[in-house]
Structure 1
Amino acid sequence: MAMALSNSIPANTIKVGKKKILEAVEYDKICDFIHLYDGITIDCELELYNNFNYVDRKTLKSILQTEWSSLLRSQHWRYESLAQKHLKLFQDQTKKNDDPTILIKLAVAERMTPVSLCRSILQEKYKFENKSDLSRLLKYPHLIDDPILCANVMQCICSDIQEGPLVDLRRRIIGEEYEFKLKELARNAGMHYYTEHDLRRLGYDKTPDLKMILPFLYKGEQVNWIESKAGFGDVKTHKWNIRQQLNSYSNRFGAGIVIYWFGYHNELPDLSENKDGIIVLDDFPEVQHITLLNLEQESDTACIFDVNDNSTAEFL
């Protein structure tokens, strides 16, 4: 059966919303606010919404997560060195009262996430040899034999939006939600694709979320795969994604699209690292920019139809 390209997808309605693609000045202001904020991240998030109300909330939340994750990695050595001091401070306070917010207040004072503080204190108190034992107490804090410490750890887990079992679950669900959204949009657009599961079953190791069975054109450029990222694309993160994932997709399958659903730094599309065929978007491609292969149309050759002059060029 011969194939031809079609532009018969119904048009989308115009989307209006808060800003997701940020200029350097805007992005730097948000990062500076996060770095200078004196308090825990759950409060910082609310202040971000108030101070940058023109920016999409998911964009702000994603930037906050990235910046605090970087801070945690850079300060990990300091947290370990202060664990004994923090445990003693906690024990001294519990002699005075059984307040379940002692660790929250200490986390604010030390500019730590509540769960990071819990992790270092639990390790110092119980001297775990296996990380799995420590993770188990954070996942099931009711197993902690000290009732005041147990109450404080529970409070920290519920108040931390950066790490901990609840955060891990939330991030996994959001990632799966946007992968599902991508598949639904691609299916509704009439695209034919392999999923990551399909490709792994076929023996591929590094796989995009969607690999097109039939490539399509986006603004005239052939697209062979789409990768979903449920986060904000800053320059550092995008370059890391290129090195770790996207370059291998381009080398193996050809050009493709990476979608940062919560927006990106406006420099990303023009980075030289994208030269091997990486297209950066903040949403699923708009239908007016997509050209699909039409499997139902028969002809001797499959052709590209130019909607402006109705001329054709051989495609296959």
Structure 2
Amino acid sequence: MSGGDVPTKLKVLSNVQYQQICQFISRYRGLAIDCEYELRNRIFQDVDPMALTCILQSEVFNKTRGQHSKNDQRAKKLLKAYESQKDLYDDALLIRMSCVECINPVALCRMLLQEKYKLRHRSHVSRLLKNPHLIDEHHLAACVQQCVVSDNQEGPITDLRRRLIGEEYEMKLKTMAKEAGIHFYDERDLRRMGFDKTPDIKMILPFLYKGEVINWIESKANFGDTKGHKFNIQQQLQSYCNRFGPGIIIYWFGYHEETPLMPENKIGITVLPDFPAKEDLVFMQLDSGEAVPAGAPKETSSPLNESSK
């Protein structure tokens, strides 16, 4: 590696590496945003930063889901604690409480707002989180605003960031597919054609990837651990395989080494950490019916392979 090269970060993690990351997260005491900083900048610097962010997100989600009913029962006690201390501390009171109670800052805000204002619908609480200035108590409004900007796991800012990242990588998939010479339908095209569950792109004409027929590609701006991948198969990929045939799922931020080897993939699922290399793609010429490697010179002007001339 030359002096100017940037070392490649790990995206496909062994079971040992993955367990080490999960153990660090489970033992960490403090805000998830601080845990993410430790993961990315101090402890696991050889791992793709977005892989670490996604693993943290998954671990925190699983932990939070298990505590949901218990947290609801704690709401009265936590609101009472806030009311008794709000005159003693500055606007960081809820941040301190979330660290002590091991609750995400925004989750703590939800509990307190719901209890204080007797809000029965989640949408009403979400409105106050998006617009803290609507909270009539100024100290609480300031605390909520600080929690929203300090929480990297939930809340309006985090939801927006994740949605934008997902859209960015869907666009990346379409751009790379066009550059490879693939012609496809996207989700909007497929919905107009009457399909309900649709992959991100569906090939107009299938191609071969390392000898395997590919009919569709699904983009996931996420890390593919085995549990999450199994969920994706049940919710989406099995339907795609039944309807369209074999396809590819791309986990742009990497995956657990066992994910591509899961027996559930045998229905026609190929797992990749990036867009397939052009030299591994083989297209069918529409006029001659012959298979042609991507980028190979052609005598005809098949529209499917126009961009690889």
Query: What's the TM-score, normalizing by structure 2?
Result: 0.91
Matched residue type, 1:60: L
Whole-Å separation in 2 of the counterparts to 1:117 and 1:129: 16
Match of 2:262 among 245, 248, 271: 271
Equivalent residues of 2:11, 2:254 under 8 A apart: yes
Structure 1 residues 47-86: aligned runs within 5 Å: 47-49=38-40, 50-86=42-78
Q: How many angstroms does 1:89 deviate by? A: 1.0
Q: Secondary structure at the match of 2:169?
A: helix
Whole-Å separation in 1 of the counterparts to 2:154 and 2:214: 36
The one-character-per-residue Cα deviations of 1:52-82 (angstroms, maximum 9, x if unpaired) are 1110100100100111011111111111111
Matched residue type, 2:79: L
Match of 1:255 among 236, 240, 246: 246
Are residues 1:233 and 2:224 paired? yes
Structure 1 residues 90-109: aligned runs within 5 Å: 90-97=82-89, 99-109=90-100
Matched residue type, 2:202: K
Q: Secondary structure at the match of 1:145?
A: coil
- Name the structure 2 match of 1:89: 81
Equivalent residues of 2:282, 2:292 under 8 A apart: no
- Name the structure 2 match of 1:26: 17
Whole-Å separation in 2 of the counterparts to 1:25 and 1:105: 34
- Name the structure 1 match of 2:212: 221
The one-character-per-residue Cα deviations of 1:163-222 (angstroms, maximum 9, x if unpaired) are 000011011100000000000000111101000111011110110000000111100111
- Going from structure 1 to structure 2, the CA distance change for 1:121 and 1:252 (only over 3 Å counts) comes to same
Whole-Å separation in 2 of the counterparts to 1:94 and 1:40: 20
Are residues 1:304 and 2:291 paired? yes
Whole-Å separation in 2 of the counterparts to 1:253 and 1:306: 23
Which moved further from structure 2: 79-88 or 221-230? 79-88
- Name the structure 2 match of 1:150: 141
Q: How many angstroms does 1:305 deviate by? A: 5.5
Matched residue type, 1:82: R
Whole-Å separation in 2 of the counterparts to 1:231 and 1:149: 34
Whole-Å separation in 2 of the counterparts to 1:294 and 1:15: 39
Matched residue type, 1:304: A
Matched residue type, 2:211: G
Q: Secondary structure at the match of 2:123?
A: helix
Structure 1 residues 177-192: aligned runs within 5 Å: 177-192=168-183
**Runs (4+) of structure 1 moved beyond 6 Å?**
none
The one-character-per-residue Cα deviations of 1:130-149 (angstroms, maximum 9, x if unpaired) are 22211110111111000000
Whole-Å separation in 2 of the counterparts to 1:306 and 1:172: 35
Equivalent residues of 2:12, 2:257 under 8 A apart: yes
Q: Secondary structure at the match of 2:70?
A: helix
The one-character-per-residue Cα deviations of 1:220-251 (angstroms, maximum 9, x if unpaired) are 11100000000000000000000110001001
Q: How many angstroms does 1:15 deviate by? A: 9.8
- Name the structure 2 match of 1:5: none
Q: Secondary structure at the match of 2:270?
A: strand
Equivalent residues of 2:223, 2:255 under 8 A apart: yes
Query: What's the TM-score, normalizing by structure 1?
Result: 0.89
Q: How many angstroms does 1:293 deviate by? A: 2.6
Q: Secondary structure at the match of 1:26?
A: helix
- Going from structure 1 to structure 2, the CA distance change for 1:227 and 1:306 (only over 3 Å counts) comes to closer
Matched residue type, 2:203: M
The one-character-per-residue Cα deviations of 1:67-116 (angstroms, maximum 9, x if unpaired) are 1011111111111111111111111111324x110000100011110000
Matched residue type, 1:69: F
- Going from structure 1 to structure 2, the CA distance change for 1:15 and 1:226 (only over 3 Å counts) comes to farther
Q: Secondary structure at the match of 1:275?
A: helix
Match of 1:289 among 280, 293, 298: 280
Give identity over the alignment, percent: 55
Q: Secondary structure at the match of 2:165?
A: helix
Matched residue count: 289
Q: Which runs of 5+ in 1 are unaligned?
A: 1-13, 308-316
Q: Which runs of 5+ in 2 are unaligned?
A: 295-309
